[in-house]
């Protein structure tokens, strides 16, 4: 399997879900995803690795979507369109009220200890050492649990 095939198989679904979320049109999302991977095939040798490959691909998708908007909706200012930044972390999304409410819904259904560790870290702003000591565990345990909670939230948000 080539490097591109591996990237395609690993990230195709993520890019398509991201584009579906921002454009709310399944057919357009599929078309844009195809364009992203066609461009990625050509641009892969130039990829410097300054960011995560998923972020790079989603940013390309976002740019294709913005170009599409410029072509099809010239009366609507592209600057007015709210598009989530694919490189934003879960913590940054909490600051956005709409995203925060969606995260709170997911967080509400998250099993323990993920729910509490995530809440203590984000809302309580506790260190991993402090969180670990509250649970009678290590800072490493708190860190791993926190990152697993983030991944669970991210996965639910993408559904």
Q: Are 29 and 69 members of one domain?
A: yes
Domain count, the chain: 2
**The tokens of 13 are what?**
């679904």
Same domain, 63 and 130: no
List, as one string, the DSSP characters of 80-146. Answer: G-----TT--HHHHHHSHHHHHHHHHHHHHPPTTHHHHHHHHHTS---HHHHHHHTTS-HHHHHHHH
Q: Are residues 151 and 96 in the same domain?
A: yes
The pLDDT score that the predictor gives to residue 73 is: 62
150 to 72, 103, 105, 127, 130: CA distances (angstroms): 36, 10, 14, 16, 18
pLDDT in tens, the chain (159 residues): 778 788 888 888 888 888 887 777 889 989 999 999 888 888 887 877 777 788 888 888 888 888 888 787 654 444 444 555 556 665 565 556 666 677 778 878 888 888 888 887 876 677 888 788 777 889 899 999 999 988 888 888 777
Based on the domain organization, do 43 and 69 belong to the same domain?
yes
- Which residues form the domain of 102? 90-158
Same domain, 71 and 106: no
Residue 97 belongs to a domain with what CATH number? 1.10.10.10
Q: Is residue 97 part of a domain?
A: yes
Query: Do 60 and 126 reside in the same domain of the chain?
Result: no
CATH number of the domain within which 38 lies: 1.10.1740.10
pTM of the complete model beyond 0.75: no
């Amino acid at each position: 399997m080539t490097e591109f095939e591996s990237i395609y198989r690993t990230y195709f679904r993520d890019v398509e879900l991201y584009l579906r979320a921002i454009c709310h049109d399944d057919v357009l999302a599929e078309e844009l995803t195809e364009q992203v991977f066609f461009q990625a095939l050509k641009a892969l040798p130039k990829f410097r690795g300054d960011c995560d490959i998923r972020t790079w691909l989603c940013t390309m998708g976002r740019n294709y979507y913005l170009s599409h908007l410029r072509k099809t909706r010239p009366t609507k200012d592209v600057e007015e369109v709210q598009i989530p930044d694919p490189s934003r972390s879960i913590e940054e999304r909490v600051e956005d009220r709409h995203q925060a409410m969606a995260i709170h819904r997911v967080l509400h259904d998250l099993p323990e200890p993920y729910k509490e560790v995530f809440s203590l870290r984000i809302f309580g702003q506790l260190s991993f050492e402090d969180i670990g000591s509250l649970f009678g565990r290590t800072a490493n345990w708190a860190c791993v649990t926190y990152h697993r909670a983030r991944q669970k939230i991210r996965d639910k948000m993408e559904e």
